[in-house]
Structure 1
Amino acid sequence: MGGRTGRVARRISRDELGAWLLKRNPATGFELPRAGGVAESWCVVPGYRSELMARGDKVILWVSGDGRRMVRGIWGLGTVTGPVDREPSVDDHAPAKLVVPVELVVLGQGVPAGELVAAGITQLEVQRLPQGSNPSWVSKEQLARLLPLLPPWPDRERPPTSS
């Protein structure tokens, strides 16, 4: 048994993956882009899950925390845009971070965790293991249940900017 809850995050496969779920606690001081803005990269923990992430995979942003700065729940949708890579460390003593390139559009209005529970969505990994690391995941079945609660998925990669 792992962690304080006695629960262990189970191993997943690409066959059952509906979307990756990336978490952020606003109390950490990290600022999200404004509604409609796009996050272009996200730190992930080394491991088999980050190795499974691939271009074109769907991504969901989950805001966690105590709800003082933002309501807990889903606040962004997007896509993985490339392979996970190491970000060089700015400190010689700190390990390099793993970063996944994404096009993660911040929603103007999130889907609060309470609204998910009211819709009977109670078994997402982030609900069962809220202290888990990035990336978490959503199964194909869970994603199908989430889709009616979400705005249309941004399904395009951002066009290159012209100079």
Structure 2
Amino acid sequence: MTCTLILTRHAKSAWDSNAPSDHSRPLNSRGRDSARALGNWLRETNELPLQVLSSSSQRTRETYQLTGIEAPAVFTERLYHASSDIIFQVLKEASHSRTMILGHNPGIAAFAHAIVNYPADHTRFDDYPTGATLIAKFDIDTWADLTWSSGRVIEFIVPRELLVT
């Protein structure tokens, strides 16, 4: 069997908002467009998740909502600015073979590098910009069998490539 991970950093947030905290910062206009484009891209690639595990922040919630993904989501404090080790533990607890994780840097970038056997051949993989999305496959029966460096990169994209007009 194969498990599929869709690993997404939240879309671009609004630094100039009146949000009372970092946790409650919303997406900006470009971020909203990017989230919609990511959802369309996932539908086109036929890689929609069966479940979403997300940080509880406003910007990850909005990213999820605007993708139009209909898979059930769990929003958890554990993924708010989580380290790669925490993301690893959360994924090992996932219950569906196609799971999306929505989170933040630097943890998402560190996790992406550590979970795949070879990095994506993309100039932006190292810095994992906002909205960056990795699709990786794992030759395991369940996420409980997950090990480091075991994923194969299938796709990696940044929203800027999807928004080119």
- Provide the TM-score with structure 2 as the length reference: 0.33
More helix by share: 2
Larger fraction in strand: 1
Larger Rg: 1
Question: Normalising to structure 1: TM-score of the pair?
Answer: 0.33
